[in-house]
Amino acid sequence: MALRVIKGEAVDIKDLVRVLGLSNAEVDSLISRYDWREALIGKVMTYQHRLLSEYYDVSLPVIDELVNFLVGEGAYGAKLSGAGLGGSVIALIRDETMAKEILSKVLSRGLAPRGWVVSIDGGVMVHGQ
């Protein structure tokens, strides 16, 4: 679903309600925002984290606490990423300033030992085939 949003493809509102467990009013509110794409991708990220935690048992309470904290502080969404003996929590946040503020709070509360603020670029593009 997140990939369809990123690619600019249509997403059925019924799917949002069913898959993400949102009410029709929540979906209407979400897609009426100026930053609806980021907000929707964030909802999908957090939903994916819940699946990893609740159904696949690959998270820990401290990681769930971090995800909840990030979302509570204003991240669009957050989730555990990675597998095996390591991984990271990634969060989608509105801008660099807000990301630095939230990261500072995370570190000062001891919710993570370290963190980074990175930017998303345009990715790989193929021109003129």
129: confidence class by pLDDT, cuts 50, 70, 90: low
Task: Decide: residue 104, CB within 10 A, 0-12 exposed, 13-18 middle, 19+ buried.
Answer: exposed
What's the pLDDT tens digit per position in 30-54? 778 778 888 888 999 999 999 989 9
What's the pLDDT tens digit per position in 88-121? 999 999 999 999 999 999 999 999 999 999 988 8
What domains are there in the chain, each with its CATH number?
2-108 (3.30.70.890)
How far apart, in whole angstroms, are the C-alpha atoms of residue 63 and residue 87?
10
